[in-house]
A and B are shown apart, each in its own frame.
Chain A
């Protein structure tokens, strides 16, 4: 992979994953995987079902502990940190199934994600001030839910729930945003809006996206990584990857 190799040198990368392996009772869901994400890059991970895509995100955000390998985010080793410490370091993660607080309103969902008052004392003394209100309104407008703030979250449509979860990440202002199938279950027009949204928010951050929808991938990806059986099968521009015979074989052979 000549295009990636010439960048190597840890400083250029926001995220560098090296030799990452995780084994579930002997089954290696992720196997000696290496991955480098640059600043302001939108990287898309694709691959057949069960390739280990979600597991990679789980490993980065600390939900699953790696058996081997290292994950460096801005020079910090994430494999040794707790979930909330990883979030504080600047990594945000959206789950495959919309994971929002259904019992709370859209406003409260966003407010809880606002990065202030994150310890016990802070939460007890947290006040809704203008800064919070403005930020919530700003993010809500961005995710097309500006007029739904008072709505209870479980009354939102599936697509709106996906947006809300993206909004909950945006309000944390992470430097690395990881999205697991953000447009699953969305209508065509919602997909377009989401692609626009992602292109807009990547100005100040890197984004790592898992997606099956090829049209969507083409719309947003700067570079694509193809995962197969826990390993990187191919990497590069969408065009290049689509032409790669190994990729064609995996996708058509299944």
Chain B
């Protein structure tokens, strides 16, 4: 049986520090600016995978349309940058100067009303965080209040991703169509295309990722996190403990949406354009694979999952582009069958115990990622009173042996 509690709350500071060292020190030192920018791009997908850990891993809500929220974030940022790039001076050769080039090509003579607010950077930032949450809220209310879940929800979100892609492609004059919004140049006059800017954006992206990781950690360690686990197992019981189950599902779905959108916005900044290919059904499913490979219950696993799969994708499709899809499918099935908890499960079951053999016991907490002094699930005042029996010890401290079961 899958012992969830053994995987919860196990990601303590040591694992965060290791990841921070990899992202902020190892990668920048080891990679040239082109490769570093590529890793930065991969890391934007980690936001989406992290959102999926929350809503799928913990909340049990499988969404196959997370690309939608990534896309909303990305397009918001792209609209702002595009407006800045389309100043009347830059676009003086157009028949209507001052509007984005693709609008001019599509015979628009005026900026559409919904583009207007994106002149403001502050509005753009708020929109990146709030628009996806509002959209997720509407979907959530429509679905979860009616107790639609499981496969139906997955199919519906997949359909939404497909519809949105078609909409974006169809409304070329307003959205840039299939090419997306391209030729983005500056952010408040700061050229985002230089190597230096890309390096800075890489660090900003990493910092934002860590903010989201800590937020996610806070959520899963709060009572709300335990409620999500309880809901996955026994939704009815949670209801009859007096909780409105749908409101918790809506919340976690909205949180996942906002986190994904931050990734989308950072994608646009680092890559320099946004297009419908990152919104649709394909990327949405790929993002589920990042999450599954990293481990559905592992917030840090989401980052490793995104990095590993994308790195494999890049190296694979450089040499055998036509084989990549099959390879990824095989990878996904293999991981899910052999390691239902993904890389995190693999690490907990095999790698951590193996590593422990080379390290004095005093430092085992670095490897297990668990604070050594106390069992975090038990409040201190109760711990002092109770001398745990042998049986209790087994149940609360045998986490490693549980992890892979």
A63, A105, A120 pick with most chain B CB within 10 angstroms? A120
- Whether the pair A103, B5 counts as a contact (CB closer than 8 A) is yes
CB distance from B61 to the nearest CB of A (A): 15
CB distance from B234 to the nearest CB of A (A): 6
- Whether the pair A111, B229 counts as a contact (CB closer than 8 A) is no
CB within 8 Å: A-B pair count: 121
Partner pick for A107 among B3, B237, B382, CB 8 A cutoff:
B382
- Chain A positions near chain B (C-beta within 8 angstroms): 61, 63, 82-84, 87-88, 92-93, 95, 99-105, 107-108, 111-113, 115, 117-120, 123-126, 128, 130, 133, 136-137, 147-152, 154-155, 168, 172
Sample of 7 A–B contacts (CB below 8 Å): A61-B240, A84-B243, A101-B230, A101-B237, A126-B223, A130-B381, A168-B241
- Whether the pair B241, A172 counts as a contact (CB closer than 8 A) is yes
- Whether the pair B5, A87 counts as a contact (CB closer than 8 A) is no
- Whether the pair B227, A123 counts as a contact (CB closer than 8 A) is yes
- Complexed CA–CA distance, A99 and B226 (Å): 16
- Chain B positions near chain A (C-beta within 8 angstroms): 1, 3-5, 219, 222-224, 226-227, 229-230, 233-234, 236-245, 247-248, 251, 375, 377-379, 381-382, 386, 388-389, 391-392, 395-396
CB distance from B239 to the nearest CB of A (A): 4
Collect the chain A residues with CB atoms within 8 Å of residue B386's CB. Answer: 147, 149-150
- Whether the pair B222, A126 counts as a contact (CB closer than 8 A) is yes
CB distance from B2 to the nearest CB of A (A): 8
- Whether the pair B388, A133 counts as a contact (CB closer than 8 A) is no
- Whether the pair B377, A105 counts as a contact (CB closer than 8 A) is yes
- Complexed CA–CA distance, A120 and B233 (Å): 19
Partner pick for A104 among B5, B245, B248, CB 8 A cutoff:
B5
CB distance from B5 to the nearest CB of A (A): 5
- Complexed CA–CA distance, A147 and B382 (Å): 10
Collect the chain A residues with CB atoms within 8 Å of residue B230's CB. Answer: 101, 103-104, 112
- Complexed CA–CA distance, A74 and B3 (Å): 42
Partner pick for B247 among A83, A108, A120, A137, CB 8 A cutoff:
A120
- Whether the pair B227, A112 counts as a contact (CB closer than 8 A) is yes
- Complexed CA–CA distance, A230 and B247 (Å): 35
- Whether the pair A101, B396 counts as a contact (CB closer than 8 A) is no
CB distance from A170 to the nearest CB of B (A): 12
- Complexed CA–CA distance, A118 and B234 (Å): 17
- Whether the pair A147, B248 counts as a contact (CB closer than 8 A) is no
- Whether the pair A87, B379 counts as a contact (CB closer than 8 A) is no
- Complexed CA–CA distance, A100 and B230 (Å): 9
- Complexed CA–CA distance, A126 and B223 (Å): 6
B398 to chain A: closest residue by CB: A152
CB distance from A9 to the nearest CB of B (A): 30
- Whether the pair A150, B392 counts as a contact (CB closer than 8 A) is yes
7 tightest CB-CB pairs across the interface, nearest first?
A87-B242, A123-B224, A126-B223, A83-B239, A101-B230, A103-B4, A120-B251
- Complexed CA–CA distance, A103 and B7 (Å): 11
Collect the chain A residues with CB atoms within 8 Å of residue B375's CB. Answer: 150
- Complexed CA–CA distance, A82 and B245 (Å): 11
B1, B230, B236, B240 pick with most chain A CB within 10 angstroms? B240
- Complexed CA–CA distance, A191 and B363 (Å): 49
CB distance from A131 to the nearest CB of B (A): 12
Collect the chain A residues with CB atoms within 8 Å of residue B3's CB. Answer: 103, 152
CB distance from B289 to the nearest CB of A (A): 25
- Complexed CA–CA distance, A88 and B243 (Å): 9
Collect the chain A residues with CB atoms within 8 Å of residue B377's CB. Answer: 105, 107-108, 150
Known contacts being A83-B239, A101-B230, A119-B247, is A112 close to B223, with CB within 8 Å?
A: yes
- Whether the pair B223, A172 counts as a contact (CB closer than 8 A) is no
- Complexed CA–CA distance, A168 and B224 (Å): 17
Collect the chain B residues with CB atoms within 8 Å of residue A124's CB. Answer: 219, 222-224
- Whether the pair A87, B382 counts as a contact (CB closer than 8 A) is no
Known contacts being A149-B378, A149-B386, A152-B395, is A103 close to B229, with CB within 8 Å?
A: yes
Besides A155-B395, A168-B241, 9 more A-B contacts (Cβ < 8 Å) are A83-B240, A84-B239, A104-B230, A105-B377, A118-B243, A119-B247, A120-B224, A147-B389, A149-B382
Collect the chain A residues with CB atoms within 8 Å of residue B240's CB. Answer: 61, 63, 83-84, 87, 92-93
- Whether the pair A87, B241 counts as a contact (CB closer than 8 A) is yes
- Whether the pair A100, B396 counts as a contact (CB closer than 8 A) is no
CB distance from B391 to the nearest CB of A (A): 7
- Complexed CA–CA distance, A120 and B222 (Å): 11
Collect the chain B residues with CB atoms within 8 Å of residue A155's CB. Answer: 391, 395
- Whether the pair B233, A101 counts as a contact (CB closer than 8 A) is yes
A156 to chain B: closest residue by CB: B395
- Whether the pair B379, A151 counts as a contact (CB closer than 8 A) is no
